[in-house]
Amino acid sequence: MTKLPNSDATQDSAVGDASWLVKIVIRCHLLSQVVIHAILFTLSLLLAFLIRFDATAAAGGSTSHEWAGRFWACLPFFLVVKLLIFGKMRLFRGGWRYASIRDVTNILLGSWWFVLTGFVMWMLFYHLPQGMVRTVPFLGAYFGSFPRSVLVLDFLGTVFLVSTVRLGFRLYREELRPVAADSLRRVLLIGAGDAAEAIIREIHRMRIERYRVAGMVDDDPAKRKIMIHGISVLGGTKDIREICEENDVEEIIVAMPSASRKELKEVIDLCSGTKLQFQSLPGVADLIDGRVTVSQIRPVDINDLLGRDVVQLDDEAIERFLTGRRILITGAGGSIGSEMCRQVCHYRPAELILLEQAETPLFDIDNELRANFPDIKISARICDIYDRNRVMKLWAEHSPEVVIHAAAHKHVPLMEHNPCEAVKNNIMGSRNVADASCQYGTDEFVMISTDKAVNPSSVMGASKRVAEIYTQALNGHVDCKTQFKAVRFGNVLGSNGSVIPTFRKQIAAGGPVCVTHPKMTRYFMTIPEASRLVLQAAATGAGGQIFLLDMGESVKIVDLARQMITLSGFRPGEDIEIKFIGVRPGEKLYEELRTDAEDIEPTVHPKVNVWKSHQAQWIWVEEAIEKLSVLENCPDRQPVVDLLCELIPEYEPLNPPKKESPSPVRS
């Protein structure tokens, strides 16, 4: 039988061969560095003797034959000691293409150490007894052959030659090497501070060159006309458009890590109508420290303009709320639900139970959490919350202590056409998980609600309001110890099916970008911010409360569309058309949050408020839910809408969908 080779042994052999090859390359590199420095040290000493004894000869002193003998006598000492000092300081390991002021400083320091060593040796020589000098004859050859001024001249020559060669190599690589101009994109930097300096320096040292910096702009008057690494400040931000046209700029890199979102918006607006592409640098500290490079500069995203400052949380309260407890999250595969899972895992729950109807999103979030949080027990369960028996069995199996209810149908126009599904999922599904929480002793129940539940104009908003009413009425009910809370907020940036991903697809397809109405506005919040504030509200609030998150200022959707088109390097209205398609069924022009009304109270957190709503009587709520349950699968929209109007007096349906005409029957 033929014996197969041991694959592990073969692999070890290959690794061993590779390591020897690496060692040989490193040694060759070090050897070449030593040889080059030895040549430079020799030239430096030669220059020192030439200058010193040329001046002496001019004064009628020694001839060239005299100093040549002294030079050869001193050279071995100079070479050996310098090479030892420079080697000890690891100056042979530096990459010349990255030569910097620090390298020059180290060369100065190494040269000073040699001067000090040489001077000490010279002083010792002249103070040694004559008998010892005779016993060691080479001492006289080395230290009796040169005057002290040679040490100073050699110091200057060493610093000059070694620094010049290193910096010259870098200068050639960065400035003098021929590069095809057509391959470079001309960029303009916004800002002329430390971040801009780091970017320019990094661009100059890039081997695969991508950019040529045309200039910088900065609104600081003190920085006008200054130059950084040969690049000039050409004006202020108000001059961007003209500067870009005059210098054929193709891209803009925002080099202002501290710039506010308002300032970024102003820059984007100034460049609207151009074909400029916008790039943003990573954190300047990371760039300067070398943890990231210019090759990782990313396009400016609309989230950079709409996102807000990092939310400061009461971590101690949230830890008490989550740490060591069994947490169940419904809708765990959705945009908000999946982020809630990530946030919760940071607080080390005893177990995290993921409930989701859709198989693939549940699979994805389950794998992600297991990879990132291997120490946390995670249970993934497929479940339709409308299935009451399945819900009850899962609650009995896991006995969750905290439930975060994020599962819901959220798309307004779809729910207008499918109102019975909104009733089944948003109302009956919420009832099922709320009842299960009561029955199996859940301590805390947090429902994710929406600003569309305020004076609802859509079936989706009305269904979420009914769910709020039900959970509020259940709070404090007989034999129910669960504390029920609801948290309202507006749109979240980048959630599945929301306006921003939709606009991105439309821009990528060449347009048009479809906007419902020129005056339509919406509130926006990032998914992580919304998730953190939900945890904050849940951890510090009391049962029966409805919390409202501070959504900041509303944004006009048409302005959002223009900014996204501009950021993509297109011109709104020319390259990409903006098309107004009319307000869709159930939509308002302006969403309401009621954050400044008389019935709103602040909480311990500045971005969380409480709405002082009146709790409905349990008997009335039970009757309302029973009426709705009859219409769960009603094929007609109107009975569902009529009953919702009866239950929620402030519900005023807007833009009801037109009845679809039946498809023609073919013979």
Per-residue CA distances from 379 to 11, 27, 366, 432, 644 (Å) = 40, 54, 8, 20, 36
Q: What CA–CA distance (Å, rounded) separates 137 from 520?
A: 97
- Beta-carbon-side half-sphere exposure of residue 63 (alpha carbons within 13 Å): 1
Per-residue CA distances from 226 to 158, 192, 215, 218 (Å) = 33, 9, 11, 10
Q: What is the DSSP string of 489-533?
A: --EEET-TTSHHHHHHHHHHTT-PEEES-TT-EE-EEEHHHHHHH
| Helix segments in 184-239, DSSP class H | 194-205
| Lookup: tokens for 572 | 């709104």
Listed in sequence order, the residues at least 6 apart from 436 whose beta carbon sits closer than 8 Å to its beta carbon are: 391, 392, 394, 395, 442
**Residue 405: phi, psi to the nearest 5?**
-100, 95
Angle 290-293-296 from CA coordinates, rounded to 5°: 140
**Residue 233: phi, psi to the nearest 5?**
-85, 115
Q: What CA–CA distance (Å, rounded) separates 643 from 422?
A: 13
Which of 424, 452, 485, 588 is labelled catalytic?
A: 452
Listed in sequence order, the residues at least 6 apart from 423 whose beta carbon sits closer than 8 Å to its beta carbon are: 463, 628, 631, 632, 640
Alpha carbon 326 to chain centroid distance? 31
Per-residue CA distances from 521 to 259, 560, 583, 587, 592 (Å) = 25, 10, 12, 11, 10
Q: How far apart are the first and last CA of the chain?
A: 76
| Lookup: tokens for 531 | 């998730």
Alpha carbon 344 to chain centroid distance? 20
Listed in sequence order, the residues at least 6 apart from 10 whose beta carbon sits closer than 8 Å to its beta carbon are: none
| Lookup: tokens for 411 | 């798309």
Listed in sequence order, the residues at least 6 apart from 519 whose beta carbon sits closer than 8 Å to its beta carbon are: 556, 589
Count of CB atoms within 10 A of residue 20's CB? Answer: 10
Q: What CA–CA distance (Å, rounded) separates 233 from 251?
A: 16
Q: What CA–CA distance (Å, rounded) separates 100 from 104?
A: 7
Taking alpha carbons only, the member of 466, 593, 473, 464 closest to residue 524 is 593
Q: What CA–CA distance (Å, rounded) separates 278 from 249?
A: 11
The answer to whether 452 is a known catalytic residue is: yes
In 3-state terms, what secondary structure has residue 351?
strand
Active site residues: 452
